[in-house]
Structure 1
């Protein structure tokens, strides 16, 4: 090679590497270096590398218009340390990234140099694509057999220089670029080339690309299925169904319709000696007698005829891959990150990713919703994921879902005219996901939904400062408390559903009161029962725009004390609001408490106190033990003038959670005395410990 040719080649490589750097900077980092892009375009044009010059100018225009989806697809390009960017093979160029993280296409398992003549001799006696017996990728080879027969144009492979580039469908993109280098190919135990057998070198390239993505180039695969692998090759929507009694009729109908590709998977045990257990087969045609004709990926020379009895007794799965271009006119995609903390902390859909589909057309429309988990080799292959419609009662949902462990889930919904449905996604692992929406009408729109449109929600925990046990505890009112308001123009009652969720099996309860029910004697609907892990109150009558308080309690304190409170209403044009509040001391800044006891010879206790400044007082007197109904009265007088500032002549029952005097106005600088009296003989209730609690905006000094 001449020196000028070498320098030209080096120049081209440098240009492509600079283009890739700027691509990543623009789409991945969100930084548009316009000067560098313009310089690259000029430099490429000057050296007559017109393709790079054109792409650099296009990048200059596109870089400033990067949306969330595009950036997400670029940021999720890395799988197992290698980058697979969302770039069409037509604009890939001969060179990818260099240095660390380069998408070089080198295999993890090293081997000898490619021997085309040897490979041709190996494949000479094999009529079709055939699986290599030392590579456990029957699902991929079955997929290739099907795709070559029914959708060959969907395969995207291009030979550029010394490498091949392939577009595969994964991680939310239909054009993940995989660069394959066939310079070195591992050998099998017999010294032969370790690759599937085919008369098309592109099939070998596709297998190598598949191994790079699925397992970093290693041949030690953990298993897959034909639905997943056909999607990876073509983007055809995967659907997995169990073989049922109507399987033969369904398969023959669909094969004749030509809308999908079909493969079959055998059960863990098979009765037919011609079939292999836990193995995928390509379904290639229907015999004139009505039976299915399948091909074993391990033996390209033999077709197997499958009658209905053989199908039902030996096969477990039907793998359908639907052609979206024939079935639908529109495809929308939304990407998101699923994190199990907090999304799986509580058995509710509220913390999960939520989505809305709007049908603005004049007729009912069908939408297929396809959930795709992004590749992550650290994930458990058996992890469950799903997408489902949000139920009418968003509160009545658990975290035990019947989903798919394949990393995909397909939901088919029908949406009536001018209507909207809401969906939620669930996953057992933290992972990136893409949600695909396929539909015919252009009047279908999809977007992420907000929690506020469904329900009011707050998270909190019981700790040493706010755990005060069950309703029977005199200090129950000190448990976490939340203000509830339903904003509405309605003049009638609205009905609210409340749900309290715990992260453990603790027994839970909630009570709701008017905000000014300081003694907690008039609950809206009283229920003293406690239920394990979840407590639900439905159809509570609420006055619109009135203030209520919800007290959340746990019967026992556990190691996991976090909880979630949810509130929702079915009333139209009403909005539920929840917020943390602290009414225990009247929401005042200063909080003072003193224990006291009754004297044997008298029914009264005097507690002198002074006020630093004029302030409102929130006074509570309570018995710390319950020994029967106690009747008390409270009066307050000025020590200097003997003026009675709070006058009560009658005794009243001391409520379980204390008798409260709210908003008592005290003037600063005065010396006052709180007189607490009980009814009955002096010796009655002498052993009951008592407490005085005072909340105020300025400091209160207790004397004596």
Structure 2
């Protein structure tokens, strides 16, 4: 007795590929796992005898069991323009496309210009391998493709009539598939094709895949730069330099074996080269300091420049280098950046990462920060990477640009930890690539040793700058310093909107705010910072935050200890005008008020005038009405309540009636009374 094994048809195998794609996508992206569907498809795949399909099944079954945050993040960020670009390379061949290729062909366009879609054959008339079509503004891609072909760095394969190319974007390698029989756009007006010119049709397919990712298959492209595009094609680390800042010594250090060079021009006139255009550096003669430069437009011979002439004619030097030629290890850290972090112009509100060297030797490493592709990228959107200063807030070392990436070279001492911050002008996904030569050099997210409170200036507290009697009405915070040792603190005040701002620090017994220990009477634009204020252990302090010109704005007050974070440091809003007590009353009087309390009560008072000077002698007494026992007495000569409020410090009162008596003022005085229990206050006629 025998039985025949029936092999599935090609349409059945295609169905199995797509069903497994959907199961894989649901697991990684939708966080959904259908074990029944997976088990039912396993048997069919085994019977298919499709080696690539079985290999993909085995990979997925193993990978899903050990998947982590990084794995899922790379899958979640596979989505672009509503299409899927999974994180695969050539080691995992895919027979079926992840997207609908027929639908993709229908979206090809050239801006608003009418086009036809035509089948192309290799362009054998060109003498050059790859030439830019001058109607398409992708000179940066052509330069990148020329260099990448020369270095044999285009990774692609053809299977089942699909051309698969491996690009590097959104934090990892990505599979981009176009039909091997793709049709290409041509102008309706003159019938000319809009593709690059090459005897190798695969170069046209690479261009199509590139424009699919970068511009949604629109050949009316606004352009890029060669460093960025070379990274997308090859994964080689991009760097962009203003050529005036580059020395020949740096060119020698880069070398030529594992480096690709290109040049860019700006819009400056009076030069021989085309403006706003990229060029390939075809070769460098390091002995004669001569550079052979190729225009991707073709149709002209290459030009040779001396180093000095090169610096005069060109603006940008684009460099891409092979990370594996310098570093043996590559680790990643993914993150999502929200533009809500940009409310204040200070690094203290930015997310932080730590680069740690856990070895006993010096370690050189390289950090490359990549912003993921944005479907609607804001023009001139910057990305910044900087190092947190050891002391203070303003001495920041940071570099930023609008190219979508940042680089930082690090030389780490033994057991050293470096803390970095990062910023983007817009919300985006980010990937940090750490290149090193030791597994003990690591990257991780970290928390800062910063304490921040947020408040705002409004119509009730934005009118009282330094020097007025109601300065205490500005926002005030109470700072508690615990512990057994003095500390040195860095403080920073930042307004959200443009304003002249200031803060001063007072000891907690200085309720009249007469003796600032920070001694900072000037106002600064938007940011006011002081480094290394010495504060005594076990003490409390007031920080008064004021603004000029009645500006309404949120603000943050930030502090940190540059050496060691004190434990349980406390920074809280405080009503200094009423001594921080629960019950508040404002009384206007000329001579005397009566205060009646029915419980043991803590009392605080603050006296001042509103713009009326008091230059004579002032006598202030607080006494019990029935017994005449004095609780507070003070005599001041030539004291001006319009600029220097007079404080009655906290005192404990038993149930009784008390009289607050003031001599020496002819005009009315304002008295802020704060009590811990409710009191009855009467102004005597």
Distance 1:540 1:251, change over 3 A: closer
Tell me, in whole angstroms, the C-alpha distance in 2 between the residues paired with 1:549 and 1:108: 65
Distance 1:248 1:675, change over 3 A: closer
Tell me, in whole angstroms, the C-alpha distance in 2 between the residues paired with 1:429 and 1:141: 29
TM-superposition CA deviations, 1:456-489 (whole Å, max 9, x none): 2222111234445123333322322223234444
SS at match of 2:14: helix
- 1:677 is displaced (CA, Å) by 1.6
Tell me, in whole angstroms, the C-alpha distance in 2 between the residues paired with 1:569 and 1:192: 67
Tell me, in whole angstroms, the C-alpha distance in 2 between the residues paired with 1:169 and 1:649: 78
Distance 1:47 1:544, change over 3 A: same
- 1:621 is displaced (CA, Å) by 4.1
SS at match of 1:145: helix
Residue 678 of structure 2 corresponds to 699
SS at match of 2:551: coil
Q: Is the 8 A contact 1:471 1:553 kept in 2?
A: yes
Q: Could you say what the CA RMSD is over the residues aligned between the two structures, in angstroms?
A: 3.3
SS at match of 2:613: coil
- 1:224 is displaced (CA, Å) by 1.3
TM-superposition CA deviations, 1:599-621 (whole Å, max 9, x none): xxxxx41325343x554344444
Residue 35 of structure 1 corresponds to 36
TM-superposition CA deviations, 1:70-103 (whole Å, max 9, x none): 233223223333332323355463445568x999
TM-score normalised by structure 1 residue count: 0.85
SS at match of 1:459: strand
Q: Is the 8 A contact 2:162 2:177 kept in 1?
A: yes
Residue 601 of structure 1 corresponds to none
Tell me, in whole angstroms, the C-alpha distance in 2 between the residues paired with 1:136 and 1:534: 43
Distance 1:443 1:85, change over 3 A: same
Tell me, in whole angstroms, the C-alpha distance in 1 between the residues paired with 2:268 and 2:521: 55
Residue 11 of structure 2 corresponds to 10
Q: Confirm or deny that 1:549 pairs with 2:542.
A: yes
Q: Confirm or deny that 1:317 pairs with 2:316.
A: yes
- 1:217 is displaced (CA, Å) by 0.4
Gaps of 5+ in 1: 599-603
Distance 1:146 1:628, change over 3 A: same
Tell me, in whole angstroms, the C-alpha distance in 2 between the residues paired with 1:216 and 1:155: 21
Residue 280 of structure 1 corresponds to 278
Question: Which region of structure 1 is more displaced relative to structure 2, 135-144 or 468-477?
Answer: 468-477
1:566 pairs with one of 558, 562, 577: 558
Residue 373 of structure 1 corresponds to 371
Q: Is the 8 A contact 1:113 1:183 kept in 2?
A: no
Matches within 5 A, 1:623-702: 623-629=609-615, 631-637=618-624, 642-643=626-627, 647-648=631-632, 651=635, 656-667=644-655, 672-680=656-664, 685-696=665-676, 698-702=677-681
Distance 1:557 1:578, change over 3 A: farther
Tell me, in whole angstroms, the C-alpha distance in 2 between the residues paired with 1:388 and 1:573: 22
Matches within 5 A, 1:251-262: 251=251, 254-256=254-256, 258-262=257-261
Matches within 5 A, 1:406-421: 406-421=403-418
Residue 337 of structure 1 corresponds to 336
SS at match of 2:376: coil
Q: Is the 8 A contact 1:459 1:565 kept in 2?
A: yes
- 1:237 is displaced (CA, Å) by 0.4
Distance 1:36 1:645, change over 3 A: farther
Q: Is the 8 A contact 1:165 1:179 kept in 2?
A: yes
- 1:183 is displaced (CA, Å) by 3.2
TM-score normalised by structure 2 residue count: 0.87
Tell me, in whole angstroms, the C-alpha distance in 2 between the residues paired with 1:255 and 1:271: 31
- 1:171 is displaced (CA, Å) by 1.5
Q: Is the 8 A contact 1:623 1:658 kept in 2?
A: no
Distance 1:633 1:78, change over 3 A: same
Q: Confirm or deny that 1:589 pairs with 2:560.
A: no
- 1:7 is displaced (CA, Å) by 8.0
Tell me, in whole angstroms, the C-alpha distance in 2 between the residues paired with 1:70 and 1:644: 80
Residue 458 of structure 1 corresponds to 453
Residue 236 of structure 1 corresponds to 236
Residue 388 of structure 1 corresponds to 386
Question: Which region of structure 1 is more displaced relative to structure 2, 122-131 or 403-412?
Answer: 122-131
Gaps of 5+ in 2: 1-5
Tell me, in whole angstroms, the C-alpha distance in 2 between the residues paired with 1:191 and 1:295: 28
Question: Which region of structure 1 is more displaced relative to structure 2, 29-38 or 568-577?
Answer: 568-577
Tell me, in whole angstroms, the C-alpha distance in 1 between the residues paired with 2:632 and 2:254: 86
- 1:254 is displaced (CA, Å) by 4.0
SS at match of 2:186: coil
Tell me, in whole angstroms, the C-alpha distance in 1 between the residues paired with 2:261 and 2:228: 12
Paired residue total: 666
